[in-house]
Amino acid sequence: MRSTLPKVLHRVAGRTLIEAVLDAAAPLSASRTVVVVGRDRDRVAATLDGRDVRWAVQDPPLGTGDAVRRAREALGDGGPIVVLAGDTPLLRTETLARLVALQREKGLAASFLTFRPPEPGDFGRVVRDRAGRPVAIVEARNCSEKQRRIAEVNAGVYCFAPEALWRALERLDRNPVSGEFYLTDAIAGLVKAGGRLAAVEAEDWREAWGVNTRRDLAAAEALENRRSIERALDAGVTVLDPATVRIGPRVSFASDVVVHPFVSLEGETVIAEGCEVFPFTRVADTRMEEGSAIGPHCDSEGARIGPRARVGPYSRLRPGTVLEEDVRVGNFVETKNTTLRKGVKALHLAYLGDAEVGANANIGAGVITCNYDGVNKHRTSVGEGAFIGTDSQLVAPVTVGKGAYVAAGTTVTEDVPDGALAISRVPQANKEDWAERRRARAKKRDSG
């Protein structure tokens, strides 16, 4: 990867490689998930903080067989045991379910996943007997010339009966070439001990593809995005230009959504029926409710956009933003940790941070909530039906009452009662003929 970042922490479609694998396995996990880590384990653990996983440490790294041994105590009793690599981000839950179902239904010692890539390269070859039963997996470096011509290769995805797995691992020997313990050797060991095995070939070889280079990473990104585009189309979404739209694997849609060109939908975004997202807009971890729309050149992260609310163009919704129904947020308006109640309008050049704005209030152009005093954040409250005039500053903590008015150009430092007018301008003074006298002085100075 030519990177200081652990391979499994590189990202495809917004998820790290290991998160993608864990997401694929999550619907199958009835008891517990164990992650085996070695070098850089602290960085991996930090990335997976909050997930329900147990940890096992492999240090020094002595191969895949040794890695599974290290997980035994954390796994506890029960099974079957599914073993996955952390660098296969395209693996699908449906494929894993087939693998597990086969092992359970037939009472196999093990089932494992195979695939047929265009170039088998360094993948372990799957050796079958004359009846077509798998009898061994041979690492590429140990293959004979005949074995290297085998097109079917090992995906590194297994489902074991627990007792069979532990017995096979106890009998594993170090590989004489690498000095490591290979989990693939357990397959041959199970066959030798009389265990029954079966292999499941992936319907699409690419889902078993492990990422090892930046080129692999880019190819996986394109494939994952295409999957998401197709999932959106199948859900009744109109994607006007699939070639320029990016959709993450965790994004969910209702029908009759319209996605314009050059849109990026990321994270745990949920888009309800009849919504529309216009060009050059990023939407991440955001909930869009029925009939809402985000205009061109907007950024929304960690926000909730209520029914029929309209955002943009050139708006930024930061985490904690809640727009209730029929809210309008316009050009060059930024919000953060702020709730705009039903019917609020903030159409031009405003910053609303750490605030609550009551229903049907109007926020004029250039309004700022001054929420940070250099040490702490403070809240601003604007009452229902209030009118905040152009170029006003609300210095938090402060409350503007229901139906109150704040005159344009006012700096509000004290609470404004319901129905009151707040004004804090310097009195205007007009100096007659001042401009004419200034021009005369300048002309005299330039001529003499």
Which residues are known catalytic residues? 348
Cβ(143)–Cβ(154) below 8 Å: no
User: What CA–CA distances, in Å, run from 420 to 343, 385, 395, 440?
Assistant: 21, 12, 17, 46
* 3-state SS record for 88-131: CCCCCHHHHHHHHHHHHHHCCCEEEEEECCCCCCCCCEEEECCC
Which position has the token pair 């196999």?
108
DSSP state, residue 221: H
Cβ(316)–Cβ(330) below 8 Å: no
Largest CA distance in the chain: 113
User: What CA–CA distances, in Å, run from 349 to 158, 356, 387?
Assistant: 56, 18, 16
Cβ(348)–Cβ(328) below 8 Å: no
Q: How far apart are CA 254 and CA 361, in angstroms?
A: 31
Tell me how many helices (H) and strands (E) the chain has. Answer: 10, 40
Q: Which residues contact 366 (CB under 8 A, 6 or more apart)?
A: 348, 349, 350, 390, 391, 392
